[in-house]
Homo-oligomer: A and B are copies of this chain.
Amino acid sequence: MTSAAEGRVDGLIEGVRAGRVRDLARLISLIEDGSPQVPAILATLGQPAPGPRVIGLTGPPGVGKSTTTAALIAALRARGERVAVLAVDPSSPFSGGALLGDRIRMGQHATDDGVFIRSMASRGHLGGLAATTPAVVRVLAAAGFDTVLLETVGVGQSEVEVAASSDTTLVLLAPGLGDSIQAAKAGILEVGDILVVNKADRDGADATVRDLRGMIALGSREDGAWEPPVVRTVAATGEGMAELLAAVDAHGAWLATSGAGTERRVLRARNEIEALALAALRQRMERGDHGRRLDEAAVRVAAGELEPHAAAAEFIDGL
């Protein structure tokens, strides 16, 4: 590193520790871009234990995740906590363009310096969310945030990544979203520490709550395991938010006393190390001579001259 670059990095670290939004945003971009300066910066910032509480919010489109996030911000701010929001967008891997809708909807908190809101691309950066989210959480810890809300749009893979990165995962549903949602429930139940039926003032809310409770009752659970509560909310009016926060706190207490919190943190660290190692290996594969070998093998596989498994084995031998 040149001394000018060192100077910029020192300024960045200072800015992050002081909680300056511009420096926070710049460092998060460096993490997303896989900048070679990141490991040294993170080492300097240090690793707080246990660090901020990470609350994941996931669920299908239209259930009110952003409204719930905004209501949780308000409730946590009322307690005096500093709150960061990472909104994971289904952005394009081709354009890298992030969708700003969520940030705009959270505008009411935009002028509060106890609140930091950031959109993150769900892919396209090295190692994916498993590699970047823990690093960003550490940066937010260094900047003095108490709670990180990790909000993701969509169903499918992202809900699993949110659960893997969170201490407590809220799965949001709403009445009347049709059978594609019903179908997703099997997977959703397994990642949710707390199930939230939002828009609970709508028709069908009782049935949704009953269905979820039925599915939870059917699941087998070891002694002392956490049983996900079902909480009814109307995030738009704030109804049920106190109950939701109480459920989050109860889950946090269970994590601490049962040892499950430590287990989750170790598993998360394992995923992070593995994701970083695979990202580094992938980077090595893509570049220079290795990249050219990959190109040549791809042409032969596409022409039917080489079997892909054989190509992969040959490629690994040459790494």
A interface list, Cβ under 8 A from B: 38-39, 42-43, 46-49, 60-62, 90-95, 97, 99, 101, 122-123, 134-135, 153-158, 160, 178-181, 183-184, 186-187, 190-191, 262, 265-270, 272-274, 276-278, 280-282, 285, 294-295, 297-299, 301-304, 307-313, 315-316
> A42–B157 contact, CB under 8 A?
no
> A276–B312 contact, CB under 8 A?
yes
> B274–A294 contact, CB under 8 A?
yes
User: A278 contacts which of B179, B278, B310 (Cβ < 8 Å)?
Assistant: B278
Considering only CB atoms, which chain B residue lies closest to A101 in the complex?
B183
- Shortest CB-to-CB span from A142 to chain B, Å, is 12
> A93–B268 contact, CB under 8 A?
no
> B269–A301 contact, CB under 8 A?
yes
In the complex where A178-B61, A183-B99 touch, is A160 in contact with B93 (Cβ < 8 A)? Answer: yes
**A–B pairs, 11, beta carbons within 8 Å:** A38-B309, A47-B301, A47-B304, A60-B61, A92-B186, A153-B155, A154-B154, A269-B297, A273-B297, A273-B301, A277-B285
Chain B hits for A310, CB < 8 A? 39, 43
Q: What is the CA–CA distance of A302 and B277 in the complex, to the nearest angstrom? A: 17
Considering only CB atoms, which chain B residue lies closest to A298 in the complex?
B270
Chain B hits for A62, CB < 8 A? 178, 180
Chain B hits for A187, CB < 8 A? 90-92, 94-95, 97
> B157–A157 contact, CB under 8 A?
yes
Chain B hits for A186, CB < 8 A? 91-92, 95, 97, 99
Chain B hits for A190, CB < 8 A? 92, 94-95
